[in-house]
């Protein structure tokens, strides 16, 4: 988006010399907004609906932040009415970085290569589009389009005071994966200062994101065995940079997937469920939030196995505590994966995994009433659904609540790097 804006401005300045300037937006501002994004005409949705977002931006310091609090409908009953019921998501953009804070976890977002851009810089070369009306409010329209930058922008401001009301930014890109990206923003409570998020940049230190603190080293053995589960696409057995859970944590994930019809989402195509034995360092690090095949991960911890409460519903994501009501999630970083012949006890790696069983998720979802148990439970820890899930992986006989193991390649039974 930022590159499109800069290219559009270069073209616009060359073609609008002497034109009347657009409305003046203060360098520092904040607003409550509702954002809607489209990719190739398809509206983008999230599992957890976002009621509103708070934006703050400062063109002098070249920093923008957004904060989105979302009430998680499936949080444990004990969390209702407390901060742990919410998934709080903050994005921070500087000239050089893009960072995230998810329920207190500071996550390096450099993998997405986002940087600060000025929402309104293009107004310097905008055209007066005349009067307009938005939701009954008399407005003035300002527009700019650029064939070179493949971008089109439109802003509606109040006719009386020039306050932003509605912004549309449409850009396109060529090459593999190319298409059209449209972002529409409705502004509420627009202020000429950063007072809606006054402390969002307090104490900001990029090192906190690039070098996240691990949990204290526990007493006892250096490495432990943990039973883990993962819902995954067919024949995808590489756990590197994937996120896994205990039974309660994975059921939380699967139930939400089922209840929101996300199991066939564009980057998932989940079809199988596998159980594994994970042999890993007892000391845990920051959870890497990974999605997709191949995965894209938020977070800079690339050696220690990461840990959090399922869905991150705990202070600081629940990284260094037990989370029985939500269940546990772990992330398995590429830099910690053990090569053949290595073990976490040797100090050069932090995890290896041996697959125990893989089942077709249709057996769990369609034959044993799992979907109905998720709906009936309504909230974590989804006790009835967890019981069905555990039995399906532990037992092979369908008549006894089990699911038969799939006959998959024995080469997938152990996860080590080849030497």
Condensed to tens digits (0 to 9), the pLDDT of residues 70-123 reads 999 999 999 999 999 999 999 999 999 999 999 999 999 988 888 999 999 999
Residue closest to 328 by CA, chosen among 287, 364, 389, 267: 287
37 DSSP β-pair partners: 183
Residue closest to 89 by CA, chosen among 102, 99, 108: 102
**How many structural domains does the chain have?**
2
Q: What was the pLDDT predicted at 183?
A: 94
In this structure, the answer to whether residues 23 and 109 fall within a common structural domain is yes
Residue closest to 250 by CA, chosen among 306, 311, 193, 301: 311
SS3 36: strand
Give the whole-angstrom CA distance, residue 383 versus residue 208: 37
Place of tokens 């038969």: 404
Rounded to two decimals, the pTM is 0.86
Q: Would 222 be classed as within a structural domain?
A: yes
Q: Would 114 be classed as within a structural domain?
A: yes
Q: What was the pLDDT predicted at 176?
A: 61
In this structure, the answer to whether residues 78 and 153 fall within a common structural domain is yes
Which residue segment(s) compose the domain that 245 sits in? 212-407
CA atoms lying within 13 Å on the CB side of residue 172? 13
From 133, 160, 191, give the residue that closes a domain: 191
Q: Specify the CATH number for the domain of residue 16.
A: 2.50.20
pLDDT band for position 265 (50/70/90)?
Answer: very low
Q: Would 151 be classed as within a structural domain?
A: yes
Mean pLDDT of 264-276: 72
In this structure, the answer to whether residues 361 and 239 fall within a common structural domain is yes
In this structure, the answer to whether residues 324 and 273 fall within a common structural domain is yes
Determine the length of the chain: 419
Q: What was the pLDDT predicted at 292?
A: 84
Q: Any alpha helices (H) in 305-415, and if so which ranges?
A: 361-362, 370-377, 383-394
287 DSSP β-pair partners: none
Q: Would 199 be classed as within a structural domain?
A: no
Q: What was the pLDDT predicted at 219?
A: 92
Q: Would 16 be classed as within a structural domain?
A: yes
In this structure, the answer to whether residues 183 and 316 fall within a common structural domain is no
Give the whole-angstrom CA distance, residue 106 versus residue 151: 33
In this structure, the answer to whether residues 255 and 376 fall within a common structural domain is yes
In this structure, the answer to whether residues 167 and 295 fall within a common structural domain is no
In this structure, the answer to whether residues 89 and 171 fall within a common structural domain is yes
Dmax of the chain from CA atoms?
Answer: 80
In this structure, the answer to whether residues 165 and 285 fall within a common structural domain is no
pLDDT of residue 380 exceeding 70, the answer is yes
Q: Would 197 be classed as within a structural domain?
A: no
In this structure, the answer to whether residues 222 and 88 fall within a common structural domain is no
pLDDT of residue 245 exceeding 70, the answer is yes
Residue closest to 35 by CA, chosen among 17, 55, 20: 55
Q: Would 174 be classed as within a structural domain?
A: yes
Q: Would 200 be classed as within a structural domain?
A: no
- Comparing 41-50, 305-314, 323-332, 336-345, the range with the smallest average pLDDT is 41-50
Q: What was the pLDDT predicted at 179?
A: 83
In this structure, the answer to whether residues 241 and 166 fall within a common structural domain is no
Mean pLDDT of 129-142: 96
Residue closest to 154 by CA, chosen among 114, 190, 119: 119
Residue with more model confidence, 186 or 113: 186
* % the chain with pLDDT above 90: 75
In this structure, the answer to whether residues 341 and 248 fall within a common structural domain is yes
**Cβ proximity of 66 and 54 under 8 Å:** yes
pLDDT band for position 207 (50/70/90)?
Answer: very high
């Amino acid at each position: 988006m930022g590159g499109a804006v800069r290219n559009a401005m270069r073209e616009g300045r060359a073609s609008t010399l002497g034109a009347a300037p657009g409305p003046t937006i203060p360098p520092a501002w904040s607003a409550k907004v509702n954002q809607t994004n489209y990719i190739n005409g398809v509206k983008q949705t999230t599992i957890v609906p976002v009621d509103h977002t708070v934006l703050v931006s400062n063109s002098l310091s070249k920093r923008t932040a957004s904060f989105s609090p979302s009430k998680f409908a499936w949080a444990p009953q004990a969390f209702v009415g407390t901060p742990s019921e919410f998934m709080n998501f903050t994005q921070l953009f500087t000239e050089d970085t893009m960072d995230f804070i998810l329920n207190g976890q500071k996550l390096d977002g450099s993998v997405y290569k986002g940087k600060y851009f000025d929402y309104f810089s293009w107004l310097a070369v905008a055209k007066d589009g005349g009067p307009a009306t938005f939701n009954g409010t008399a407005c003035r329209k300002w527009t700019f389009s650029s064939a070179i930058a493949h971008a089109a922008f439109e802003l509606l401001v109040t006719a009386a005071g020039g306050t932003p009301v509605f912004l549309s930014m449409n850009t396109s890109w060529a090459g593999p994966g190319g298409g059209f990206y449209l972002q529409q923003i409705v502004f509420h409570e627009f202020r000429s200062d950063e007072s809606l998020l006054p402390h969002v940049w307090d104490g900001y230190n990029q090192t906190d994101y690039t070098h996240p603190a691990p949990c204290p080293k526990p007493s006892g053995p250096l490495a432990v065995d943990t039973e883990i589960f993962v819902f995954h696409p067919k024949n995808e057995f590489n756990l590197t940079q994937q996120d896994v859970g205990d039974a309660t944590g994975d059921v939380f994930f699967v139930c939400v997937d089922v209840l929101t019809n996300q199991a066939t989402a564009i980057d998932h195509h989940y079809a199988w469920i596998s159980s594994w034995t994970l042999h890993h360092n007892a000391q845990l690090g920051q959870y890497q939030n990974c999605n997709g095949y191949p995965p894209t991960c938020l977070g800079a911890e690339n050696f220690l196995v990461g840990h959090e409460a399922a869905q991150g519903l705990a202070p600081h994501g629940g990284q260094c505590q037990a989370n029985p009501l939500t269940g546990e999630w772990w992330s398995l970083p590429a830099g910690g994966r053990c090569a053949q012949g290595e073990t976490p006890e040797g100090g050069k790696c932090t995890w290896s995994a041996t697959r125990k069983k893989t089942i077709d998720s249709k057996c769990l979802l369609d034959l044993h009433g799992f979907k109905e148990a998720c709906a009936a439970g309504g909230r974590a820890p989804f006790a009835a659904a967890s019981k069905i899930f555990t039995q399906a992986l532990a037992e092979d006989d369908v008549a006894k609540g089990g699911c038969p193991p799939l006959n998959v390649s024995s080469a997938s039974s152990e996860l080590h790097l080849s030497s």
